[in-house]
Amino acid sequence: MEWEPDRGLRARMALGLALVAVLPVAFVYAFVFAANTVGVELLAWATDDPWNGRFYVNPVLVVGAVAVGFAAQFAFGDSVALRSVDARRVDREDYPDLVARVDRLAQVAGAPAPDVAVSRSAVPNAFAIGARPSKATVVVTEGLLDALDDDELDAVLAHEIAHVRNRDVAVMSLSYFLPSLTYLVAIAAFYVLKGVFYVGGGLDDVDGDGAKGVLVVVVVLVVSALVTLTVSALFWLASFLLFRVLSQYREHAADRGAAAITGDPAALASALRVVDDEMSDAPDRDLREIDGGLEALYVAPVDTYQFGDDRELLSSDLFPATHPATEERIERLGEMVEERA
C-alpha cells in the first residue's frame, strides 16, 4: 500500500515539538520572575531591609538541563513505560502468531517491524512506544489477546503501527516531560503547605521574639508554596493544551491508518467497542495496573471521563481528555465502511 502523509497531523506535531521545547524553559523562568517580584518583596518584609539583588539563571544552563531531561526520556522512557505496566518484550518463540501479525502489518504499512511486548494485565488495551520508528515497540495486554478475534486484533495492531508510521509516538513521549515536572513540583509545594499547617498547630506555647520569627517563617513558606502551586497549575494547563494539540487528532489519524493497512475499518470499530465494554466492567485495581501515566498512548483511554466520577486514577488527573469519544471514533469508522461499499 502507498502511505498517505497526514498534513494536519504533521502540522500539529510541529507545533507540539515547538511547545515541548519552549514550555519547560518558560517554566523555569516563570519561577525566576516570581522570585524577582514576589520573592524579593517577601525577603524585604521578612528582614525589614530593602532587597536590591535579583535572581538570575544562565539560559545555557536551563537549556542544557532541559536537554538532559529529554535525553533521559529518550534513553529510559521505554523501559520505564514497560515496567509501569508489567510488560516484557517477547519473540517468535513466546508469541509466534502475535509477532507474525505485527511483522506482516508493518510490512504492509511500509514501516520497520517494531518489537512486541506483552503486559500480564487482564484489561484489554494496547499502545506503542519508541523514540523513532526503528526502535518502536507495540505493547498489548494479555486481556486484549483474549478479548479480540483475529480481525479485531489485526485492526488494533495496525492502529498502533499507524502511530509508529506517523511518527507521533516520539512527540507524545516527549510531551510527558512538562506535566510530569509540574506535577512533581506541585506535590512538593503541597507537602510544604501541609507541613506548615501541621507544625503550626503545635506552636501555641511560643511567644515574644520567637513567635514573631516563627510567623515570618510560616508566612514565607506559605506564600512561596502558593506561588509555586500557581505557577505549576498554569504550566500544567499549558501542557494540557499541548496534549490536546496532538492527542485526539492522532487517534483519528491512527484509526484512518489502521483502516488503510487492514482494509477493514469495521474490524477496528468492533475492537474499540469490545475494549470499551471490557474496561468499563473492569475493577479499579485492574485498571490501575495498566494506568502507569500512559493512558494518552493507549488505543482506548483509562480515565475518569470514561469510567465515571468514582474512578480515582492518578494519571487521569495528570493527563486528562487524551482521546476522542469512542462513539465518535466508531461513527467515523462506520462512515469509512460506507465509503468503501
Per the model's pLDDT, the better-predicted residue between 206 and 299 turns out to be: 299
Helices (H) and strands (E) in the chain, counts: 14, 4
The C-alpha cell at 144 is: 486484549
* 101-105, 110-114, 158-162, 207-211: least confidently modelled range: 207-211
pLDDT at 304: 45
Closest CA to 156 of 254, 250, 292: 254
Please, are residues 57 and 30 in contact by the beta-carbon 8 Å criterion?
no
Q: How many CB atoms lie within 10 A of CB 296?
A: 26
The percentage of the chain sitting over the pLDDT mark of 90, rounded to a whole number, equals 40
DSSP-derived secondary structure letter, 261: H
Cα separations in angstroms, 85 against 79, 93, 217, 288:
10, 22, 43, 9
In this prediction, residues 64-86 reach a mean pLDDT of 86
**CA-based diameter of the chain, in Å?**
86
CA 127, 168, 173, 183 torsion-angle sign:
negative
φ/ψ of 116, rounded to 5, equals -125, 135
Strands 126-129 and 137-141: antiparallel
pLDDT at 129 over 70: yes
Write down the pLDDT at residue 270. Answer: 97
pLDDT of residue 315: 46
270, 152 Cβ separation under 8 angstroms: yes
More confident residue, 170 or 254: 254
Whose cell is 503547605? That residue is 193
Higher-confidence residue: 38 or 302? 38
Cβ(140)–Cβ(157) under 8 Å? Answer: yes
Residue 196 pLDDT class (50, 70, 90 cuts): confident
* Angle between helix 168-175 and 59-84 (nearest 10): 110
pLDDT at residue 156 in the model = 98
In sequence order, the β-bridge partners of residue 140 are 118, 126
Residue 161, pLDDT above cutoff 50: yes
Q: How confident is the model at residue 151 (pLDDT cuts 50, 70, 90)?
A: very high
**Confidence check: pLDDT of 201 > 60:** no
Residues with catalytic roles: 160
pLDDT bin (cut points 50, 70, 90) of residue 279 is confident
Model pLDDT for residues 13-60, shown as the tens digit of each residue: 888 888 888 989 999 999 999 999 998 888 888 888 887 778 899 999
- Mean residue pLDDT across the chain: 84
pLDDT digits (tens, 9 = 90+) for 222-250: 888 889 999 988 888 887 777 777 888 99
Q: What is the pLDDT of residue 245?
A: 73
User: What CA–CA distance (Å, rounded) separates 1 from 109?
Assistant: 7
Q: Is the pLDDT of residue 207 over 80?
A: no
Question: Which of 35-39, 119-123, 206-210 has the weakest average pLDDT?
Answer: 206-210
Residue 213 clears pLDDT 80, i.e. is over it: no
The whole-number pLDDT of residue 147 equals 95
137: three-class secondary structure by DSSP: strand
